A and B are shown apart, each in its own frame.
Chain A
Amino acid sequence: MSTQPATATTSPDEPLGISLSIDEEAKHSVIGEVPAEAVMDTYHLNVFYGDFHAVHDVNLQFGKNEITAMIGPSGCGKSTVLRCLNRMNDLIPGARVEGAINYHGQNIYAKGIDPIAVRQHIGMVFQKPNPFPKSIYDNIAYGPRVIGMKVDSMDDLVEGALRDAALWDEVKDKLKQSAFGLSGGQQQRLCIARTIATKPDVILMDEPCSALDPIATSKVEDLMMQLRKDYTIIVVTHNMQQAARVSDRTAFFTAKPDETTGNRTGLLVEFDLTKRLFSNPEDKRTEDYISGRFG
């Protein structure tokens, strides 16, 4: 459908306007301090659902062993951007991506890239805890099994993942029981354990605490801080306190209605160190949002 050739090279005079540096092009976004070592970045990322332009021109960099938070009002495209990062949007009929997402220097949307391989490196935790209708043990073992991971002892791997997810003590006596018997918070930590069992590099989390009570939320937040040592985490959240508490950097998105169609297209407003973005936002819209003056 796309007429533009899929090229992996970029010359300075490409007619697509993608040769501009991020800072020049991203005039509509305030880009503050970017990470020194980025695991991933999005480059002029545009996402469409059919004819609907859902996200406009997002340029972001995700630092290694950092937690990056994405905040913004409902419908501004946070989940959309997140789902692009491991090509989960491929599963949505009609979804289309323009621009590039580079992961360790490879554009994961380039031709010849295997989305399945991408997802093996970039795991995902969803908003609603979604354990498989299987035992706790099998929930964890599923990922390593399907990706054909070489493991000496699956039991050890399961235990390790559950320990890393701070769930081991609570479930060690009922590994063979159905995961549906766990509480919502335990299920969500099980989903995190399931994700880290495949030893990914990056973990994407889409509002991982929105279905949880405050105690379960703080457990998951503690867990995120722990995991940060070994993983790069990108988290979408509606909870600004949570973003302020756990993240190193924050990206604030908003949705701008199109003058002619009235469709609300999401765009990146500001990206900076969390501390700075929350204490001293550059953009008026960011300031309004974090001070609660925005719906």
Chain B
Amino acid sequence: MSEATTPAGPSHGTGLRAAIDLSHKVRPGEAAIKAVLLTSAIVSVAITVGIIVTLIQPIIDFFGEVPVGDFFATEGTYAVLPLVMGTLLVTVIALLLAVPLGLGAAMYLSEYASARARRWLKPTVELLAGVPSVVYGFFALQFVTPTLLQDIIGLEVNFTNSLAAGLVLGVMVLPTIASLAEDALSAVPMSMRQGSLAMGANRMQTTLRVVFPAALSGIAAAVVLGMSRAVGETMIVALAAGAQKKFDADVLTGHQAMTGYIAQTFGGENPVGSTPYNMAFAVAGTLFVMTLILNILSMIVVRRFRQAY
């Protein structure tokens, strides 16, 4: 707001002062409303603090009982790295599927579809993001593994396997990537396309060599955010990726993921304060930090991309 230094000058109308009342009115209603609104805003900040506080005490307790080395280990009851492996396996599979398809869809929407078509196509793609993850998990278990992978493709996969979970997870993050990448592509100034077309490039060349590179950082941010969603997803991995803690990369078998472990621990009968219970918090803390890093990364990338134009 405006700050003013206020040396009142000599004025001819001095005698008229107080003829018009411009003094500050007390508006109790206005002040009360402002206070209420401010409180609401503070609550939003309190949530982050709350998350950290919630996680911290059980984590401290956990590391009181379990050495840090046993947690960051590849095997053992309290090893987190197998869970990280489980998460990364499904995430990589998901991105292998979702990145090319999501970017393809984004390029179609931004460079080829008419404005009217886009108005309906984009929400339709976004509908995919609206399907609950438990439904995707069920679909992985009931259709992708038995029908698609076993019957149609003929793969020797287990009942729960990282491949099916990763593929379905890819479908789930596809709309996130497509939608954000489309925003980035659409933000590329029209003049850049016109310049390319005027030089005789066709639409494909323009899309791939001019628009895509120009939007690269926005696209990177879209991919990172998609990755962050995949890492944090629970129900698909809890259902379809199984409950074995394994530190290997055999995607035809199941690997428990971090979120899957947390859900399993809380779904079972682990008393409050027990070591498995506290370990779930330690895993959740690790997960929180991982997604936080990914989000901050995407924000930094986006900031750079905003400055580009």
Evaluate whether A107 and B12 lie within 8 angstroms (CB atoms) in the complex, with A113-B23, A121-B22 already known.
no
Q: How far is the CB of A81 from chain B (nearest CB, A)?
A: 14
Residue contact A100 to B2, C-beta cutoff 8 Å: no
Residue from A1, A97, A104 within 8 A of B19 (CB atoms): A104
Q: Within 8 Å of chain B (Cβ to Cβ): is A109?
A: yes
Q: Within 8 Å of chain A (Cβ to Cβ): is B17?
A: yes
Task: List, in ascending order, chain B residues with CB within 8 A of A113's CB.
Answer: 22-24
Residue with the highest number of chain B CB atoms closer than 10 Å, among A18, A90, A93, A106: A106
Task: List, in ascending order, chain B residues with CB within 8 A of A114's CB.
Answer: 22-25
Complex CA gap A2/B17 in Å reads 26
Complex CA gap A2/B10 in Å reads 21
Q: How many residues of A contact B (CB 8 A)?
A: 48
Task: List, in ascending order, chain A residues with CB within 8 A of B12's CB.
Answer: 38, 41, 105
Evaluate whether A118 and B22 lie within 8 angstroms (CB atoms) in the complex, with A89-B2, A105-B15, A105-B17 already known.
yes
Residue contact A106 to B20, C-beta cutoff 8 Å: yes
Q: Within 8 Å of chain B (Cβ to Cβ): is A98?
A: yes
Residue with the highest number of chain B CB atoms closer than 10 Å, among A10, A98, A107: A107
Q: How far is the CB of B14 from chain A (nearest CB, A)?
A: 5
Complex CA gap A104/B24 in Å reads 17
Complex CA gap A91/B2 in Å reads 7
Q: Within 8 Å of chain B (Cβ to Cβ): is A16?
A: yes
Residue contact B20 to A104, C-beta cutoff 8 Å: yes
Complex CA gap A102/B13 in Å reads 8
Complex CA gap A97/B20 in Å reads 22
Q: Within 8 Å of chain A (Cβ to Cβ): is B36?
A: no
Residue contact A93 to B22, C-beta cutoff 8 Å: no
Complex CA gap A81/B17 in Å reads 23
Task: List, in ascending order, chain A residues with CB within 8 A of B6's CB.
Answer: 6-8, 100, 107, 109-111
Q: Within 8 Å of chain B (Cβ to Cβ): is A199?
A: no
Q: Within 8 Å of chain B (Cβ to Cβ): is A99?
A: yes
Complex CA gap A206/B79 in Å reads 69
Residue contact A92 to B21, C-beta cutoff 8 Å: no
Complex CA gap A16/B6 in Å reads 11
Residue contact A102 to B24, C-beta cutoff 8 Å: no
Q: Within 8 Å of chain B (Cβ to Cβ): is A260?
A: no
Complex CA gap A94/B175 in Å reads 39
Mark out the residues of chain B between 1 and 48 whose CB falls within 8 Å of any chain A CB in the assembled complex.
1-17, 19-25
Complex CA gap A229/B55 in Å reads 71
- Closest chain B residue, CB of each to CB of A6: B6
Residue with the highest number of chain A CB atoms closer than 10 Å, among B10, B11, B15, B25: B11
Task: List, in ascending order, chain B residues with CB within 8 A of A97's CB.
Answer: 2-5
Q: How far is the CB of B1 from chain A (nearest CB, A)?
A: 5
Evaluate whether A102 and B4 lie within 8 angstroms (CB atoms) in the complex, with A112-B23, A117-B23 already known.
no
Residue contact B5 to A8, C-beta cutoff 8 Å: no
Q: How far is the CB of B12 from chain A (nearest CB, A)?
A: 6
Q: Within 8 Å of chain B (Cβ to Cβ): is A103?
A: yes
Residue contact B24 to A96, C-beta cutoff 8 Å: no
Residue from A18, A99, A103 within 8 A of B22 (CB atoms): A103
Q: Within 8 Å of chain B (Cβ to Cβ): is A95?
A: yes
Mark out the residues of chain B between 158 and 200 whose CB falls within 8 Å of any chain A CB in the assembled complex.
none
Mark out the residues of chain A between 1 and 49 whose CB falls within 8 Å of any chain B CB in the assembled complex.
1-2, 4, 6-10, 14, 16, 18-19, 21, 38-39, 41, 43-44
Q: How far is the CB of A26 from chain B (nearest CB, A)?
A: 12
Complex CA gap A18/B9 in Å reads 7
Residue contact A105 to B7, C-beta cutoff 8 Å: no
- Closest chain A residue, CB of each to CB of B20: A104
Residue contact A10 to B23, C-beta cutoff 8 Å: no
Task: List, in ascending order, chain B residues with CB within 8 A of A100's CB.
Answer: 6-9
Q: Within 8 Å of chain B (Cβ to Cβ): is A87?
A: yes
Q: Within 8 Å of chain B (Cβ to Cβ): is A116?
A: yes
Q: Within 8 Å of chain B (Cβ to Cβ): is A108?
A: yes
Residue contact A105 to B14, C-beta cutoff 8 Å: yes
Query: Footprint of A on B, CB under 8 Å?
Result: 1-17, 19-25
Q: Could you jot down 29 A-B contacts, CB within 8 Å?
A: A1-B3, A2-B5, A38-B13, A41-B9, A41-B12, A89-B2, A90-B1, A91-B1, A93-B1, A96-B2, A97-B4, A98-B4, A98-B5, A99-B9, A100-B7, A100-B8, A103-B20, A104-B19, A105-B12, A105-B14, A105-B16, A106-B17, A107-B8, A109-B4, A113-B22, A113-B24, A114-B25, A116-B25, A117-B24
Additional pairs, 19, CB under 8 Å, beyond known A38-B12, A97-B3, A100-B8: A7-B6, A7-B7, A41-B9, A44-B9, A99-B5, A100-B7, A102-B8, A104-B13, A104-B17, A104-B19, A105-B16, A105-B19, A106-B20, A107-B6, A107-B9, A111-B6, A114-B23, A114-B25, A117-B22
